[in-house]
């Protein structure tokens, strides 16, 4: 049988010999359309070798996360990168963008712009009209969106990936109530009130304590707003008031500042302290037994699940159930299992 040369295949495909070489040896840099032409020419000519899989345009996926300085979003961004690296650049091209939570206008504009260039979006956002409008535009353009960590009820989204935030708050309330054996007062510290997850955590926490633990008195929620100085100032004012503070529940960042305030008032070892996420500060507090427990959202599972659901939809038009398929199980860490 006559040997099939690169030049012969190039002539059949209507491209240069160098392009044929790049396609057959998977060197990249060739458009999907041209790759298909070269591979078809190779099949027609009966090239006696194993051909690479037909080149497919890698999905362009945009992940938009909070630009605040919390460990959670830094870890989540790193997990998305690892998931994408595992899939390979031929399968997925991941783009990450960080936008401050105080700039919903900027976030909405970025979502709208991405709807013209990306195949799918995974978005962390709060409930603002401009965000809902941007997601509606994505829907019109056929670009699927997955909300992550904090849902946007009623928005045009493929599904939501995250823990059950209300359930997490109720779990914190149940454990707080069971750990406080005598009457006491509990201070609740919330992150941004426009963040659905924080509202649901506080709601669940309050519901359980008010229903099942009448010996626990809840003080008003402190609006920490994810600002460390604000958290320190508000908590200091609470600790200076009359009445013993027996418990602290924090839904967001600022755990180091909270522990420092409790230490100044010499109640760090006496106070039941419950918070969220496992990271450097909470590990250190658990090691010293200054933190009773932390409820971790499992960033890796968020990244893996969101990516898997998006790719299944892009590959085969699979339609996930809006909450069930994207549910992430949260984990509890104490001094005994944080390592």
In the chain the domains, ranked by start, together with CATH numbers, are: 6-45 (no CATH), 59-163+299-328 (3.40.50.2300), 165-296 (3.40.50.2300)
pTM above 0.85, yes or no: no
- CA dist 73 and 75 (Å) reads 5
Record the tokens describing residue 50, joined without a space. 């194993």
210-216 mean pLDDT: 96
Q: What are 285-296's pLDDT values in tens digits?
A: 999 999 999 999
Q: Are 291 and 299 in contact (CB under 8 A)?
A: no
248-263 mean pLDDT: 95
Residue 112, pLDDT > 50, answer yes
Q: What are 57-68's pLDDT values in tens digits?
A: 688 999 999 998
Q: What angle do CA 12, 28, 307 make, to 5 degrees?
A: 125
Q: Are 145 and 115 in contact (CB under 8 A)?
A: no
Residue 2's pLDDT is what?
59
Nearest to 119 by CA among 331, 329, 313: 313
Residue 1's pLDDT is what?
44
* Per-residue b or e along 310-326, where b marks 16 or more CB atoms closer than 10 Å to that residue's CB: bbebbeeeeebeeeebb
Contacts of 233 (CB under 8 A, 6+ apart): none
Handedness of CA 234, 238, 239, 245 (dihedral sign): negative
């Amino acid at each position: 049988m006559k040997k099939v040369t690169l030049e012969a295949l190039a002539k059949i495909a209507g491209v240069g010999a160098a392009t044929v070489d790049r396609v057959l040896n998977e060197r990249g840099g060739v458009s999907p359309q041209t790759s298909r032409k070269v591979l078809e020419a190779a099949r027609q000519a009966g090239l006696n070798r194993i051909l690479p899989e037909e080149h497919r345009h890698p999905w362009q996926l945009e992940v938009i996360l909070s630009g605040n300085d919390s460990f959670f979003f830094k870890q989540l961004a790193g997990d998305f990168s690892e998931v994408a690296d595992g899939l390979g650049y031929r399968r997925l091209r991941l783009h990450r963008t960080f936008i401050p939570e105080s700039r919903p206008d900027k976030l909405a504009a970025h979502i709208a712009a991405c709807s013209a260039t990306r195949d799918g979006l995974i978005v962390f956002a709060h409930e603002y009209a401009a965000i809902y409008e941007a997601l509606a535009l994505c829907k019109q353009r056929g670009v699927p969106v997955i909300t992550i960590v904090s849902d946007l009820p009623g928005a045009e989204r493929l599904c939501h990936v995250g823990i059950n935030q209300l359930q997490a708050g109720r779990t914190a309330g149940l454990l707080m109530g069971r750990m406080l054996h005598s009457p006491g007062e509990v201070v609740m510290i919330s992150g941004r009130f426009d963040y659905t997850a924080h509202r649901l955590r506080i709601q669940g926490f309050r519901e359980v304590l008010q229903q099942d633990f009448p010996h626990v008195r809840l003080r008003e929620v402190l609006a920490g707003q994810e600002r460390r100085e604000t958290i320190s100032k508000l908590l200091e004012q609470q600790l200076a008031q009359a009445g013993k503070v027996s418990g602290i529940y924090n839904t967001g960042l600022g755990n180091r500042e909270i522990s420092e305030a409790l230490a100044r008032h010499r109640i760090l070892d006496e106070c039941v302290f419950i918070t969220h996420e496992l990271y450097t500060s909470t590990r250190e507090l658990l090691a010293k037994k200054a933190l009773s427990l932390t409820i971790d959202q499992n960033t890796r599972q968020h990244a893996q699940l969101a990516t898997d659901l998006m790719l299944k939809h892009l590959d085969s038009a699979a339609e996930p159930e809006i909450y069930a398929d994207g549910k992430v199980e949260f984990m509890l860490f104490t001094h005994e299992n944080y390592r």
